[in-house]
Structure 1
Amino acid sequence: MKSLFIHLLLFVIVFKAEVFGQKKINEKFKKETISKIDLLLHEHYVFPDKAELIVSHLNKSLKEGEFKKQELIDSFAVALTKEIRVVNGDKHLGVWPAFAPVKQQENSTTDYEMYFKNYTDTRKQASGFKEVKILDGNIGYLNISFFLSETNITIDAYMHLLANTDAVIVDLQNNGGGNPKTVNYLCSYFLESNLLINTLYFRQGNRKEEVITHEVNGKKKIDVPLFIITGPKTFSGAEEFSYNMQSQKRATLVGETTGGAANPGDVFKINSDLEIFIPTGTGINPVTKTNWEGIGVIPEVKTSNENAYTATVDLARKAAEIYRNKKALESKKLYDELEIIIKQEVQSHSEKNDEKMEQQITEIFKKGIDLGLFGEGDVNFFGSQNIKNNPIAAEYIFKSNTVLYSKSPMVYLAYGDMLELNGKRNLALINFEKSIALAEEQKAPYLEGLKMRYEKAKNNK
């Protein structure tokens, strides 16, 4: 299923109207064009009753001479689009000059020139991602111009940069839409997996397609405060992302009401000179039981386009502070649990208790990591804090890090150091060897230092 915005991108940016839109037309061409549009709408438009009304209106407009003054392809396409939308204001309905007229297609040199321009212009658009950064207050900011297909790897990279931020702003103020699967992939970063967020109904085959969130190749941000900047140019797929987050009460929208185009569809050829985008389906949100067609997505915080960014950053800073405080309390709770376990070990030291303590310590840190409270360095810090007063507890803390971060050379180094300190030289050497093997595999810059540490431990009798 093609997206309206992707097609418009090819047309507006790459194959502009001045290239293919200057062909002169006559009344016969206009009549035949409207006749073909009638057939296409009757066959494909998701709302058959509206198709009948649109067709009737087009024929009436032709009869009344509404298209008399249009003598060129581009102006005729604009006029047709205007009249097609009169009946129900469907902003996805649109007519424009064809991708490439037949005469142009016959010229291989022109084909290459068109391809080259398409390639370079698409590259300049950076796959639809305009900007990503971390603002003061540890706020992630992601500005997306449009949702292109096959950009999940880019999304993963950008979300990795924002993985530890305390609030996220997704700026869709000038996003014209794009590929539904890409929209769903970004949604999946902010929602639990296996959650139904939309159902698409398609007239052809009378079929339904459920849109369900899924796993992502990165760290999900399920509870991080999320803000979305919207405006009148927020369109189609960008509206879907905004509407999904709003209906799930997952985000706060700031700015102006969006464009109001909810119906997905496809491009159909009218003739060798013109194409039409016809919505072939419509969305049904599981929460609202409707969509944003003709209404737009209405933000909770209404402000002008000019003030939307500043207003959103202010809200995000306050939310980030609250989120940090909340996480700090959760972290303190886990730390207190860890202290209780360590104190119990001191009071009743035995091999059985040591095994239980080891398991409990690993579970606590795993829980903390899953909640985004601890990282590899934090676990090592907790271990170092117990080296002096409780070396056994410290050993198990360092060991838990090798379970939780099994691909990190440094956790095996720290665990080996602790084992050596506790007189377990042979086990320490095994972990130093594991550290070296991982560092070699990863081509770590500190490999030589690990080897020197291993030799020192091996010779220390």
Structure 2
Amino acid sequence: MNHTSKPIQNKAFSFSRQLVFMLLLSFGIVLQVNGQQKKITEKFKKETVLKIDSLLQKNYIFPEKAKLIGAHLKGAYRDGKFKKYELLDSFSTALTKEVRFINDDKHLGIKPRFIPTKEKTESNQDSYEIYLHNLTDDRKLANGFREVKIIDGNIGYLNFNFFIHETNQTIDSYLYLLEKTDAIIIDLRTNGGGSPKTVQYLCSYFLKAPLLLNTLYFRKDNYTEEFWVKEVNGKKRLDVPLFIITGAKTFSGAEEFSYNMQTQKRATLIGETTGGGANPAESFEINSLLEIFIPTGTGINPVTKTNWEGIGVIPEYKTTKDMAYDKTLELATKAAENYRTKNAAESKKLYQQLQTSIDQQTKPLNEGDLAKMDQQLFQVIKKMTESDLFNEGDIDVLSADYTKTKPYIAESILKSNAELHPKSPIAFLKYGDLLEQNGKKGDATAVLKKAVEVATEIKAPYLEGLKNRYESILK
């Protein structure tokens, strides 16, 4: 988990750069600096080993392990394990292997630093070249997402590579596309992790608040940060069948998302056991050519009181990487069918409750009778709306059955609809239109005025049309 924590909030660094660093370490990829091989001296090697040891003792989340890792690394240097490495990339790979020897912390590793391609005399020119380099990386990441689609059977599919910081708007957009699906598959087979806040936000789409998801403890300042389910900008999917595809390259923040959903019994995991990296890390400069990624914190799940470090997240259905998608689709298809059947039965039950309530109503003879009828119908329509099985448009359609035969019932239904959707100008418009049609111009004028006010507040694209409608009733 390439986590951002309070102790490092004031440090300026590129999130994407750290994320790429983490992926390079976890996947065993080596970069060249500016496409060139840098030859290194024995003095450079010794100074590098000593600096790494110093950084570990000061920053690694587990002090006792830091001592063991540092001792092992210095021992490896004394034993001549680095003598054969004359190039920077092979040396950094060898260093990574040795610092992981003690506890195989996959967030811990060394790689070459990015260096501007041309020598500059002005530091601001160097900074701008680095900025352009990082900007290109950011654009290539595409907010971390690869694909979103709806598969036959009304199954939503979301595939993405990174939990990039500050991408809530992208998540909102993608989940909006999937908000009417009967099952959702989230494919994390190539997801290398990322921001804990983005993990928190995606989790919040599928879980009800208040609920503690994860706690991060940081050695620096003895600081603890809790991540709770929060409100989201879109529609929560609290009961939709959820499936997560995992792989050996599912790592860090992607593992946290999977682990959170699994421990809360909110999703079914299919695929391979994940990479096993649970300790949030930060990048530190070793020297002008190398940097090290050091875990500075650790996660504590509220259910298991531990995490997946060194173990990985183990799916309920273990398959090969190539078979994981087909198995997930098989399970999701069956779950979607069951979900539709359940919703159809619940929808019918709620509709029958509305009809029973309507059948019990007679034409109100006074204000007291009218208020009583409105309250009874409101409670039923509220229950229908809260079920997520009937939206604003559905309620509007139901009212149409009574506009001629029982107009007082239609008015009551549309009144309830407007009250339950206070940010919908259209709900007020429909109610106002019916009131005017039924000869209640004064009431209709007040409701249409409200429609204009709400449309103005939310900057509705049809505001001018509503204003014209309101002005027409004033004439």
Which TM-score applies when normalising by structure 1?
Answer: 0.90
The aligned counterpart of 2:313 is: 297
Moved more, 422-431 or 266-275: 422-431
**1:149 CA drift (Å):** 1.1
Query: CA separation in 1, counterparts of 2:219 and 2:261?
Result: 26
Which position in structure 2 is the counterpart of 1:220?
236
Q: CA deviation at 1:256?
A: 0.8
CA distance in 2, matches of 1:137, 1:359: 39
1:55-94 aligned at under 5 Å gives the runs: 55-94=70-109
- For 2:116 and 2:428, how far apart are their aligned partners in 1? 65
**Residue 45 (structure 1) aligns with:** 60
- 1:7 matched residue in structure 2: 18
Q: Verify: 1:274 aligned to 2:290, yes or no.
A: yes
Q: Distance in 2 between matches of 1:387 and 1:195?
A: 45
> What does residue 148 of structure 2 align with?
132
Other structure's SS at 2:137 match: helix
Equivalences for residues 183-332 of structure 1 within 5 A:
183-332=199-348
Alignment partner of 1:27 is 2:42? yes
Q: 1 CA distance for matches of 2:469 and 2:252?
A: 59
* Matched-pair contact (CA < 8 Å) for 2:22–2:107: no
2:32 maps to what in 1? Answer: 17
Q: Are the equivalent residues in 2 in contact too, given 1:147–1:237 (CA < 8 A)? A: yes
- Counterpart-to-counterpart distance in 2, 1:288 and 1:417: 56
- Specify whether residues 141 and 194 from structure 1 end up closer, same or farther in structure 2 by C-alpha distance, changes over 3 A only: same
Residue pair 2:252, 2:278 contacting (<8 A) in 1 also:
yes
Instruction: Describe the SS at the equivalent of 2:158.
Output: strand
TM-aligned CA deviation for residue 354 of structure 1:
2.3
Q: Distance in 2 between matches of 1:12 and 1:331?
A: 46
SS of aligned partner of 2:133: helix
1:261 CA drift (Å) = 0.3
Deviation at 1:226, TM superposition (A): 0.9
Q: Which moved more, 1:421-430 or 1:437-446?
A: 437-446
Aligned to 1:160: 176
Per-residue Cα deviation, 1:186-226 (whole angstroms, up to 9, x for no partner):
11111112211212222223332222221122221111111
CA distance in 2, matches of 1:6, 1:247: 31
58-67 or 252-261, which moves further after superposition? 58-67
Q: How much does 1:253 deviate?
A: 0.8
For 2:57, the aligned partner's letter is: H
**Contact 2:358-2:409 within 8 A present in 1 as well:** yes
- Partner of residue 392 from structure 1, selected from 408, 431, 444: 408
Counterpart Cα distance in 1 of 2:369 and 2:119: 81
The farther-off stretch of 270-279 and 99-108 is 99-108
Deviations 1:348-386 (A, max 9, x none): 865423212212322322222222111111111111122
Range that drifts further, 359-368 or 441-450: 441-450
Unaligned runs of 5+ in 2: 6-14, 25-29
Give how far 1:5 is off: 7.4
Q: In structure 2, what is the Cα distance between the partners aligned to 1:390 and 1:249?
A: 47
Q: Contact 1:21/1:72 (CA < 8 Å) preserved in 2?
A: no
Determine if contact 1:439/1:447 at 8 Å carries over to the other structure. no
Shift of 1:319: 1.2
Q: Does 373-382 or 441-450 show the bigger shift?
A: 441-450
Tell me the CA shift for residue 392 of structure 1: 1.1
How many Å apart are 1:96 and its aligned residue? 0.7
Contact 1:345 1:353 in 2 (8 A): no
Shift of 1:10: 6.1
Structure 1: 5+ residue stretches without partners: none
Is the 2:61–2:298 Cα contact (8 Å) retained in structure 1? yes
CA 1:453–1:11 in structure 2 vs 1: closer, same or farther (change >3 Å)?
A: closer
Q: Secondary structure at the match of 2:85?
A: coil
Residue 51 of structure 2: aligned partner: 36
Q: Residue 257 of structure 1: CA displacement?
A: 0.9
Amino-acid identity (%): 56
CA drift of 1:99 comes to 3.8
Distance 1:112 1:387, change over 3 A: same
**C-alpha distance 426-87 of structure 1, shift in aligned 2 (>3 A):** same
List aligned pairs for 1:367-446, cutoff 5 A: 367-435=383-451, 442=459, 444-445=461-462
User: Per-residue displacement from partner, 1:22-77 (whole Å, max 9, x unpaired)?
Assistant: 22111111111111111111222112222222122212221222111110111110
SS at match of 1:266: strand
Cα pair 2:17 2:134 within 8 Å, conserved = no
CA shift, 1:330, in A, is 2.1
Task: Provide the TM-score with structure 2 as the length reference.
Answer: 0.88
Q: CA RMSD in A?
A: 2.8
Conserved in 2, the CA contact under 8 Å of 1:11 and 1:99?
Answer: no
Q: Deviations over 1:244-292 (max 9, x none)?
A: 0000001011111110000112111111211111111111111112111
C-alpha separation in 1, matches of 2:181 and 2:274: 27
Work out whether 1:171 is the aligned partner of 2:187. yes
Tell me the secondary structure at the aligned position of residue 17 of structure 1: coil
The AA in structure 1 aligned to 2:75 is K
Corresponding residue pairs, total: 457
Task: Decide whether aligned partners of structure 1 residues 130 and 340 sit closer, same or farther in structure 2, where only a CA change above 3 A counts.
Answer: same
**Kindly tell me: are residues 220 and 21 of structure 1, through their superposed partners in 2, closer, same or farther at Cα, counting changes over 3 Å?**
farther
The 2-side partners of 1:279 and 1:125 are apart by: 23
Deviation of 1:344 after TM superposition, in Å, equals: 1.7
Kept in 2: contact 1:386–1:393 (CA 8 A): yes
Q: 1:276 & 1:407 partners in 2: Cα distance? A: 51
The separation in 2 between residues aligned to 1:62 and 1:458, in whole angstroms, is 89
Deviation track 1:276-314 (CA, whole Å, cap 9, x = no partner) reads 111111111111121111111111112221222222222
Tell me: CA distance 1:206–1:448, structure 2 relative to 1, closer, same or farther (3 Å).
closer
Q: Are the counterparts in 2 of residues 21 and 74 from structure 1 also a CA contact under 8 Å?
A: no
Secondary structure at 1:182's aligned position in 2? helix
Q: In structure 2, the residue corresponding to 1:190 is in which secondary structure?
A: coil
2:72 is paired with a residue whose SS is helix
